[in-house]
Structure 1
Amino acid sequence: MRPSDKSSRKFLASIHDVSPRFADEVDRLLDQLVRHLGGPKLAMLVVPDHWDSAPIAEDQGFQSRLRGWADAGVEMFVHGWAHRDDSRHSGALDGFRARHMTAGEGEFLGLDHATALARMTAAKKLVEDVTGVAATGFIAPAWLYGAGALSALPQAGFTMAEDHMKVWNPQTGAVLARGPIITWASRSRARIASSLLFSALARHALKPMRDVRVAVHPGDAHVPSLVASIDKCCAALLAGRRVARYADLAADHAATRDERAAISAS
């Protein structure tokens, strides 16, 4: 299949920080994305207990909403446990990433293997028990993974993970999609300005890529300029692409692998 064919070019969207704390914002972002996608063909990144003060386990109403979204076809990712970084970072690089790439939310950047595995396992069980469907994968808060988290991913049973630049299968190491994810930041005027600039460039620069990913956060819903930018980005990058789920990445990778194996065997 030619790379230019629409059937092989995919657009993937996700809503981060899905939690009772941001229930209204998630509703608004879902409505906005559905207008572009034509339905709930997107991913939600679920935080079991955001900042240890919004436990899904104690909120029957939000559990019902999660089940309804899952039943409608929304993919459910585990997105950490508390989305808060309580680790002490000794390395210069991790310290820089913790300070400048997130506002104290890189929960899995400094965890050791055992702690990361325990949190992943507990979060996976909660999300799956609530929704009644298998979690599609794990995405670390702020897309930040330390060595402990990376080594725990396959043991926790996850077959898909994502960072800023790729989607991969932790069980095999296979890369399922490449390229920068487009996202927005709302916590300061400088962050808003920089994310508006990046998204404006990206919606043109990434057009040649086969697969593109867009991720939105609850804070985006409160900034009109970010809401408008999300609309522009979706409209521009959906042209010539099909709306896809993350599971489609794995299916396409498997099909390509089988096709190559068949050619080699012939």
Structure 2
Amino acid sequence: MRAMPLPHADKRLLASIHDVGPGSERQVDQLAGILEARLGGPRFAMLVVPDHWGQHPLRENTAFQTRLRAWSDSGIEMFVHGWFHKDTATHSGTAQFKAKHMTAGEGEFLGLDETTALQRMRDGKALIEDVIGRETAGFIAPAWLYGDGAHAALKALGFPMAEDHWKVWNPVTGAVLAKGPVITWASRSGARTASSLAFAALARQALPFSRTVRIAVHPGDVTKSSLLASIGTTLDRFAATHQPSKYADLQ
């Protein structure tokens, strides 16, 4: 059997688990186990939702707070991932297209004004940092969707890092820290699942030469064996050529 190449020191693999909260603990546990096994340890990030859809408040769940702190203590980076993760705004134009076709009512920060966005970001940051006992790594909007108000709030609050579908950047300086599409999967319909599997397969062929590769998994991914198989194959493919890293290593 031909030996796999060692990861290149200048190529980074960034992996993350989205939608982390009390309501997704079992799924997050499963995904964390998969990532740890494939990446050689807790070399990934978690994106924490303070109160997913208003039904799973982190503030009231001390047992999950303990788990979150333990994950953080192990070295897993923690990002603020919105507040509710639910989009309740009314959109028009380009934003309306994004809200309808790029997410299922979960682009919470796409239509928020700066004041509301700033308050939710500040509250989420304070809560998560109080739970884990250290600073959060940054802010990533639900569904990777930001409106003008969210962009302004990000800069005003001074988050060191943010991410969308195509890049990682510093909201304060505007510096782009990494470029390229994020590889992710979809479970909410057969068509979207098939599309995400096809994109992951294409990415395994097209992105090995990229300096930074990003992989994002969601709790819903554990509901389909085809998605879990694709996630495992994709992690293995890039862990062979890219060094599993922290987002903080980009700075």
The letter for the 2-side match of 1:123 is: G
CA apart distance, 1:5: 7.7
**Counterpart for residue 131 of structure 2:** 130
Matched, 1:167 2:168: yes
After superposition, the C-alpha distances for 1:57-112 in whole angstroms (9 at most, x for unaligned) are: 000000000000000000000000000001011x2110010011000000000000
Normalized per residue, the structure richer in helix is: 1
Matched, 1:45 2:47: yes
Q: Kindly report which structure 2 residues correspond to 1:171-186, keeping only aligned pairs within 5 A, or say none.
A: 171-186=172-187
Normalized per residue, the structure richer in strand is: 2
CA apart distance, 1:8: 0.7
| Contact persistence 2:208–2:241 (CA under 8 A) | no
Higher relative contact order (CA 8 A, sep 6+): 2
After superposition, the C-alpha distances for 1:109-168 in whole angstroms (9 at most, x for unaligned) are: 000000000000000000100011101000000000000000100212201000000000
Could you tell me the TM-score, scaled by structure 2's length? 0.97
Matched, 1:121 2:125: no
Aligned length: 246
Q: Kindly report which structure 2 residues correspond to 1:168-247, keeping only aligned pairs within 5 A, or say none.
A: 168-247=169-248
The letter for the 2-side match of 1:156 is: L
Task: Report SS of the residue matched to 1:7.
Answer: strand
**Counterpart for residue 149 of structure 1:** 150
Matched, 1:69 2:71: yes
Over the aligned positions, Cα root-mean-square deviation in angstroms equals 1.0
Residue number among 81, 84, 100 corresponding to 1:82 in the alignment: 84
Distance in 1 separating the partners of 2:36 and 2:243? 14
CA apart distance, 1:36: 0.8
Distance in 1 separating the partners of 2:195 and 2:224? 14
Task: Report SS of the residue matched to 1:45.
Answer: strand
Percent identity reads 59
Residue segments in structure 1 that go unaligned for 5+ positions in a row = 251-266
| Contact persistence 2:7–2:239 (CA under 8 A) | no
Could you tell me the TM-score, scaled by structure 1's length? 0.91
Larger radius of gyration: 1
> Structure 1 residues 200 and 5 mapped into 2: Cα distance closer, same or farther (>3 Å)?
closer
Distance in 2 separating the partners of 1:19 and 1:199? 26
The letter for the 2-side match of 1:144 is: L
Task: Report SS of the residue matched to 1:159.
Answer: coil
Task: Report SS of the residue matched to 2:56.
Answer: coil
Distance in 1 separating the partners of 2:56 and 2:241? 40
**Counterpart for residue 58 of structure 1:** 60
Distance in 1 separating the partners of 2:26 and 2:157? 31
Distance in 2 separating the partners of 1:204 and 1:125? 41
Q: Kindly report which structure 2 residues correspond to 1:253-264, keeping only aligned pairs within 5 A, or say none.
A: none
Structure 1 moving runs of 4+ over 6 Å: none
**Counterpart for residue 103 of structure 1:** 104
Distance in 2 separating the partners of 1:103 and 1:122? 24
Task: Report SS of the residue matched to 1:33.
Answer: helix
**Counterpart for residue 253 of structure 1:** none
> Structure 1 residues 232 and 122 mapped into 2: Cα distance closer, same or farther (>3 Å)?
same
Residue segments in structure 2 that go unaligned for 5+ positions in a row = 1-5
